Amino acid sequence: MSPISTRRHGEVLIVTSNNPPVNALGHAVREGLVRAMDEADGDDAVKAVVIICEGNTFFAGADITEFGKPMQMPMLPMVVDRIESCTKPVVAAIHGTAFGGGLEVALASHYRVAVPSAKLGVPEVKLGLLPGAGGTQRLPRIAGVQKALEMATSGNPIGAKEAYEIGLVDRLIEGDLEQHAVAYAAEVMDTRPLPKSSERDDKLHEARDNPAIFDEFRKANARKFRGFEAPESNIRAIEAAGRLPYSQGVMEERRLFMELMSGTQARAQQYFFFAERKASKIEGLAEDTRPRDIRRVGVIGAGTMGGGISMNFLSAGIPVTIVEMAEEALDRGTGTMRKNYEATAAKGRMTAAQVEQAMGLLRPTLDFGALADCDLIIEAVFENMDVKKDVFGRLDKIAKPGAILASNTSYLNIDEIAAATSRPEDVLGLHFFSPANVMKLLEVVRGAKTAPDVLLTAMQLAKKIRKVAVVAGVCFGFIGNRMLIPRQTQANKLLLEGATPEQIDRVHVEFGMPMGPFQMADLAGVDIGWHRDPNRIENIRDKLCAMGRWGQKKGAGFYDYDEKRRPSPSPVVAELIDEFRARAGVQSREVTDQEIVERTLYTMVNEAAKILEEGVAQRASDIDVVWVYGYGWPVYRGGPMFWADTEGLPEILGGLQRQQERLGPDFSLSDLLVRKAEAGEKFTR
Ligand code: 3H9
């Protein structure tokens, strides 16, 4: 049965799409829409058309699962042209999200009405693409060039109210959408000529009168666009709208669209779209598993982590009890949370009332016993096994039966922590990333005895607090931090062999990472995890710590910093490296950028393969989600596993084998990597 059906309401033909879950514009939908337009044109009794969708949303875009497969006619650009060429006025009735191809359908319609909660956007750039069904040509004609540039290059939607203000929506509908859309259609049914967005050009003068608008936009956003191909193609296509007649503009759009579509970045970003959605799925979970109810969350520790973690729940409307040991620390912690909220409000992203609402849900206390009525308790205390065990032992005595007990540890063994309680089935790891109220990633660490419903609860709760959660197994550092270890080991060795911190960091930044390993150490604090004995100096880091060069916070670390925290290469560090090199009896040599890639990034892939092989990650794509959301791996490279597949696993293996001597005795190849490389297989499909 076609997902598109038509029925008559007086002289209005109502065209309804029912294609769950998001009314994606797959083949059958496209075909149905064309048929509906033919029906409208062929029937004199039809005076106007309403296009509307069932379910949660208007068309959320082209069907991404069809990408990369042979295209079936009619293609979306033809469909939208067919809608615009309908001889009867077509009204798009929008609710939910009119995204991508969905907005293009709306733009090709002669009129657009929307409920106030609707969102309109062109998120194609997030898939490495551009709105390729006339969107880059019609959007600037309707919404203006500057707005079109912003929407197309950010991919972020605008609300219906704003859309109405800028003329992208003709009427806001309060009440029943279909009923009002039909009434609107009846109002406009005699209007001629029909307003066609492809024929408008009043708003293009913005660009024709000021062609510099494009370069100014490029300059203002250069940092944001770094490394990505799609934003520039979006700009060029919109530029073409200003320069060329519509018919030629769409040809240029098509050319740029196909160019992007055949590139690696689009493949990587589309792969990542599905990777992110797959991450929330728990392998082997019995279908009748039900989550536990979480009405109140307890957080132990009001430091940076504890405060950030609490904010996630407060923002989602979930009350939090936060416990500290001393009044001063508690006040400082809650004060910081308030300050953070107020800063968000100052940027206009929250109202003052919302700040009060969130803070009103917080119950700060020095009484550990106050955690007794919490359904989930997250410990965010000092990273030390004895301390954690002590906390969990005490929790065991006061937490109510069925409460979930979670540790925010970044490295430690959850099973050992769970063993400090009489209820290890209720224990798991919730590894938030710093700053915890900002970073999207959450590693949910499943212990050997963690109950399935506890795991499910955590994964569902993550969605509620707008995190992307990934299931990880127990091992030192879980998925993300464990992969940092070989990278850091090799980066440190490379310093001794002749590379500089600047060179190693530059290679990572050019690769697309936000920063390299030494920049990251300086930002996080070189002293993190330091043994704190200034007389015990075994490596460069020990020495830096002993010298008080703890990174940005001290104005010195692997780099020197000025008062504005701008880094410069440090002669002191250069001397230190020479000293340690002499001590190790290593001869300095020239290290190539390629060697840095092989020794830091290839070794990460090798570690990831071990993580996969050991079942610490459920699937290769989960590792990619961790690295993109937790560490800023460039999404246009898909993540370390997808990237390894694009490089070719034989190439990765070959590189590691070439470097084997230099990688040191602690390095070993992953069996899975070797097997897959030899069999010509990939990690991701
Ligand atoms: C485009 O339009 C190109 C054109 O310009 C030119 C063509 C020539 N296709 O996100 P959710 C699935 S490019 C296929 O969890 P939510 C999704 O995988 C497209 N499937 O729900 C998931 O499946 P599963 C431009 C899609 O409520 C299920 O639907 N449009 C598509 O949190 C539910 O998704 C976009 O980029 C799709 N387009 O969010 C919009 N979209 O249940 C992409 C979703 O098996 N979509 N699925 O895991 C979204 O942003 C969100 O899905 C949306 C709903 C906001 C709509």
**Tens digits of residue pLDDT in 141-151:** 999 999 999 99
* Structure confidence at residue 186 as a pLDDT band (50, 70, 90): very high
Average predicted confidence (pLDDT) for the chain: 97
- Ligand 1 centre distance from Cα of residue 619 (Å): 21
Pair 512, 597: CB distance under 8 Å: no
Average pLDDT over residues 199-204: 94
Tell me whether domains 4-262 and 499-588 share a fold.
Answer: no
* Span from the CA of 155 to the centroid of ligand 1 (angstroms): 13
499-588 architecture in CATH? Orthogonal Bundle (1.10)
For ligand 1, atom 47: residue with the closest CA:
22
Q: Ligand 1 pocket, 100 CB below 6 A? A: yes
pLDDT digits (tens, 9 = 90+) for 368-384: 999 999 999 999 998 89
Cβ atoms 315, 361 nearer than 8 A: no
Residue with the two structure tokens 């005795």: 665
pTM: 0.95
Q: Are 409 and 472 in contact (CB under 8 A)?
A: no
Instruction: Give the sign of the dihedral formed by CA 647, CA 650, CA 653, CA 656.
Output: negative
Give tens-digit pLDDT for 213-230.
999 999 999 999 999 999
**Which pLDDT belongs to residue 528?**
85
Give the start-to-end residue ranges of the domains of the chain. Answer: 4-262, 297-474, 499-588
Q: In this predicted model, what pLDDT tens digit does every residue of 71-112 receive, in sequence order?
A: 899 999 999 999 999 999 999 999 999 999 999 999 999 999
Strands (E), 263-325: 297-300, 320-323
**Residue 685 pLDDT greater than 90, yes or no:** no
**Lowest mean pLDDT segment, chosen from 369-378, 407-416, 527-536:** 527-536
Top mutation candidate among 64, 73, 625 for ligand 1, by most atoms within 8 Å of CB: 64
What separation in Å is there between the alpha carbon of 648 and the centre of ligand 1? 29
Strands 427-432, 404-407: pairing is: parallel
Upper half-sphere CA count for residue 487 (Cβ side, 13 Å): 22
pLDDT for 529 equals 81
Residue nearest to atom 11 of ligand 1 (CA): 277
> What are the Cα distances from residue 176, in Å, to 21, 114, 116, 402?
21, 11, 12, 43
Q: How confident is the model at residue 450 (pLDDT cuts 50, 70, 90)?
A: very high
| Identity at 612, one-letter amino acid code | L
pLDDT at 588 over 90: yes
Q: Say if CB 408 and CB 378 are below 8 A apart.
A: yes
Cβ(97) – ligand 1 distance below 6 Å: yes
466 lines ligand 1 (CB under 6 A): no
C-alpha of residue 135 to centroid of ligand 1, in Å:
17
The answer to whether 251 touches 81, Cβ cutoff 8 Å, is no
> Cβ(127) to ligand 1 under 6 A?
yes
What the block records as the tokens of 232 is: 């520039």
Q: Please say whether the structural domain 4-262 has been given the CATH code 3.90.226.10.
A: yes
Mean per-residue pLDDT, 344-352 = 95
The reply to whether ligand 1 has any atom less than 6 angstroms from the CB of 477 is no
* CATH 1.10.10.10 given to domain 297-474: no
Question: 626 CA distance to ligand 1 centroid (A)?
Answer: 21
Q: What is the pLDDT of residue 569?
A: 97
Residue 586: both structure tokens together: 């290593």
**Measuring CA to CA, which residue among 327, 326, 335 is closest to residue 307?**
335
Spell out the alpha helix ranges (H) of 262-382: 264-279, 304-315, 327-346, 352-360
Whether 145 and 238 have beta carbons less than 8 Å apart is answered as yes
pLDDT at position 400: 97
Residue 22 in contact with ligand 1 by CB distance below 6 A: yes
Please tell me the chain's helix, strand, coil percentages from 3-state DSSP, rounded to the nearest 5. Answer: 50, 15, 35
Residue 126 alpha carbon, nearest atom of ligand 1: 36
Q: Please list the active-site residues.
A: 104, 124
**Angle 161-162-166 from CA coordinates, rounded to 5°:** 120
Q: Helix (H, G, I), strand (E, B), or coil: what is residue 312?
A: helix
